[in-house]
Structure 1
Amino acid sequence: MTVSSSNSVAETSSIAELLVWASSQFVDSDSPRLDAELLLAFALKKDRTYLFTWPEKTLSGDQFLRFQESVTRRIQGEPVAYLMGEQGFWSLTLNVNPSTLIPRPETELLVEIALEKVSSTDANVLDLGTGTGAIALALASEHPAWSVTGVDFSSEAVTLAQENKTRCGLTNAEFLQSNWFDSLDDHRRFDLIVSNPPYIDPEDIHLSQGDVRFEPKSALISQQKGLADIVTIATNAREFLAPGGWLMFEHGYDQGNDCLQLLQTLGYQQVETRQDLGDRDRVTLGRFR
């Protein structure tokens, strides 16, 4: 055994030993073994199946140093996605960086509902606060005839989304810098408006815990106990929806009732809240006119 202790590791350690060591270091992670596998595969520039096929192999000096550095940064709390510079979402692999939120599996529910509700073969779609472009590109990939527009207040996010459009080889999406609807032509109408907006209360204690500490606060927090941006989106979306168009957005687990009542008050029809795989309220949607 070449691992000298739980706090150190030798360059001659095997892949199997390195995985055991790294997993033991990630005491604050919800998925220490997966984190270790992803970072080691990334250091080796291989997929994860390589780790299980060749558990006895050792790393080169450069590979070992790269892995050690990523483990150290992960121990300090940096998200694995930022360390790797990419994250899977839907069927896509996207570039990520600290200028945007990391796409999360629960947000795929928004994509699923959009595909369920909008049957038009040539829909016009708007993604508000697009970030990496994850939602917009997932929808564009499923419906090549759809015209998808993603907007974000951050110019860095817009640049990243455009990079991901190129990476995914999609031509039916465009990305613009805009504070919600502000930069859009007043005459544009959309069959579907989707959003994963900031919805965390600025006083929420979770903002100082876990991976979220490294993500941009502007993409996380919203005033009025996390509802201010949702109110803005739901209010103004009515002017940009085509007749019978859908609005749907992600929100916090404890905001479902508030979002349901908001859409009903604003005149939306067929309003409902859907739950994620953990049975938590996650997406509220409604149809206008």
Structure 2
Amino acid sequence: MTTTALRTAATATPHWEWQYLDLMRRIWEQGDERLDRTGVGTRSVFGATIRFDLSGGAMPLLTTKRVYWKTATREMLWFLTGNTNIRPLCAQGVEIWTDWPLDRYRRETGEEISRKDFSARIVADEVFAEAWGDLGPVYGKQWVDWDTYEPVGEGLFRRGPGINQVAQVVESLRGNPGSRRHIIEGWNVAELDSMALPPCHKTYQFHVADGRLSCLLYQRSCDLGLGFAFNMWSLALLTRMMAQQCNLEPGEAVWTGGDVHLYLNHAALVEEQLSREPEGEATMAILRRPDSIFDYRIEDFEVAGYAPQAHIAAPVAV
């Protein structure tokens, strides 16, 4: 391993990103090495926490590499629609979910279509998108339309009204802020096998204190090299949106990972990122207050002060 930058002494509060870089270094140097579902192999630790104060419009964007926050924001807005088909994402040029249906299409048809051509066909052909673009009941489906069933007699059941967890949490935050039940849960055991990928960021719990809204995310599995940057941004974004809807100030975004890992084929990413030092702070303004948590648009968010170092490319393990 190459020599990495050491944290410089400072009287000011250390940059929040050192939490991330310290965790990355610990995993790469001390993590347990194992084979994983993808066959690539990882080094991992179990149990880690990173905290970020959202006061003053601050947002947790990594500065040691570029994070495409608009892509992460479009994904969050897509989750809130309850849609599970990649077509709306592909139409916006967002490809972060394309690899899973593309992999299934290639396996089942034998056609070695390119990612670009597959996405273009998803956008152009609604029938094709219905057949090949759906991810199963992932994230948004569980968040806003969790299935329920009601008895109709003789041991039979019919589907009941779906549960909109997000709407319920907004109402509970407004009406009973001291509750310990402000939770959005994605881990629907009955439907895991129907999902392209079971939820990694699975449980969001909100907490109100002194007029400030904080949120703790429990993430069962985290690709620290690629996934974390989006996960941390999305956690903070959802917290800011919920706070605005509930007339609260933003508090803390608290991220907790279960299996936190780095892929063995990400050595170049790790080496490069650990050679850099964080600098600068990003802030975000929400330009309007929509009527509900479900009515935000990408144009509603404006980021300032973000001057990251260069993007670091790395392969995604599917």
**TM-score of the superposed pair, with normalisation by structure 1:** 0.23
- The answer to which structure has the higher helix fraction is 1
Higher RCO (CA 8 Å, separation ≥ 6 residues): 2
TM-score under structure 2 length normalisation: 0.22
